[in-house]
Amino acid sequence: MKNTIFKGLATLGMAALAVGFAGSASAQSLLERAEKGEPIRIGFANEVPFAYPGEDGSPKGFVNAYTIGVLKTMGFENIEPVQTEWGGLIPGLNANRFDIVTGGMNILASRCENIAFSEPMAKVGDGFIVAPGNPKNISDYASLVEGNAVMVTGAGYSNIEAAKEAGVPEANIMQVPGPTEILAAVRAGRADAGAGTYFTMKQLADSSNGAVEASDPNAMPEDSFNWAGIGFRKADQAFLDKFNEAQAKYLGSEEMLAAVAEYGYGEGSLPGDKTTEWVCANR
């Protein structure tokens, strides 16, 4: 079996190259091209730790690592990374600029109308960072209310509405530009908890040298969870069927968990028994 080939593309000029591929790529199905040994182009944005480019353009992040593992299980190792903006992932996929979306995309009803998703590969919930030992016993949004705790999160994050719905007063919700400022606020004691996606909060905790710790994502209410999948063009259902077959063997294996561990994905992030059909209908 040949070695994996990563053909890193510079951010500038990438779109032009991708458009050049599009005409020839659309003439055959993804399965036909892959079986001929042609590159499988994976599309992603810069979303740490889900999927992002390394310094050399190689695909990093747990969704990229996972997808590459599934493709290897299928016997496909010629992988070409294509970075784009988050908003360009679905349009780029449908315009044949790349073949698979690996950006860490939640399966949502509105997205299911436009692309096909693999079976879920991760359960994605909210999480908190708190002071070591979690002195205010913060585990979910309700516990913020019980402890009269101050929560910090990013401006425009969905955590704001989730906290308000749980009864957290607006005066106890601090909004900052992003993850760096969330960590700074908790470290300085200006907030009792920082909120975001669990994966982002876990990464902040791991990088803090023990200054904060991440809460248990499974303590969050069920309706706050989403499920992420790998995106495909609806015309490539034949490839997706084979991908799902390989995923069923790879998901949760020791090999898979080892490949994604550095990005904060552990057994608690496995998707459980939810199917894509269920998620498309309920999210």
Q: What is the pLDDT of residues 169-188, one digit of tens each?
A: 999 999 998 888 999 999 99
The pLDDT of residue 191 is 98
Q: Are 199 and 264 in contact (CB under 8 A)?
A: yes
Mean pLDDT of all residues in the chain?
89
More confident residue, 119 or 220: 119
Give the Cα-Cα-Cα angle 278, 240, 259 (nearest 5 degrees): 90
pLDDT at res. 47:
80
CATH for the 126-224 domain, from 3.40.190.10, 3.90.1150.10, 1.10.260.40, 3.30.465.10: 3.40.190.10
Is this structure's pTM higher than 0.85? no
Residue 233: C-alpha distances to residues 68, 112, 244 (Å): 18, 11, 14
* φ/ψ of residue 68, rounded to 5: -60, -35
CATH 3.40.190.10 spans which residues of the chain?
A: 5-123+226-282, 126-224
Q: What pLDDT, in 10s, does the model give residues 22-59?
A: 444 457 999 999 999 999 999 998 888 999 999 999 99
Segment (H or E) for 176: strand 173-176
Residue located via tokens 């994976």: 42
Say if residue 13's pLDDT is above 90.
no
Least trusted range by pLDDT, from 205-214, 223-232, 251-260: 223-232
3-state secondary structure of 280: helix
Cβ atoms 151, 172 nearer than 8 A: yes
Q: Is the pLDDT of residue 4 over 60?
A: no
Closest CA to 79 of 14, 4, 28, 26: 4
Contact criterion met (CB below 8 Å) for 145 and 184: no
Burial 248-273 (b: 16+ CB within 10 A, else e): eebbeeeebbebbeebbbeeebebee
Residue 91: what pLDDT?
Answer: 95
From CA 226, how far away is CA 115, in angstroms rounded? 17
Structure tokens at 272: 């459980």
pLDDT number for residue 56: 93
Distance CA 154, CA 209 (A): 22
What architecture is domain 5-123+226-282? 3-Layer(aba) Sandwich (3.40)
Whole-angstrom distance, CA of residue 187 vs CA of residue 66: 32
Does residue 49 have a cis bond before it (omega within 30 degrees)?
yes
Least confident span in 9-13, 132-136, 198-202, 204-208: 9-13
Kindly state the average pLDDT of the residues 249-261. Answer: 97
**DSSP-derived pairing of the beta strands 226-232 and 122-124:** antiparallel
Instruction: Report the pLDDT value the prediction gives residue 225, as an integer from 0 to 100.
Output: 86
Determine how many CB atoms are found less than 10 A away from the CB of residue 124: 23
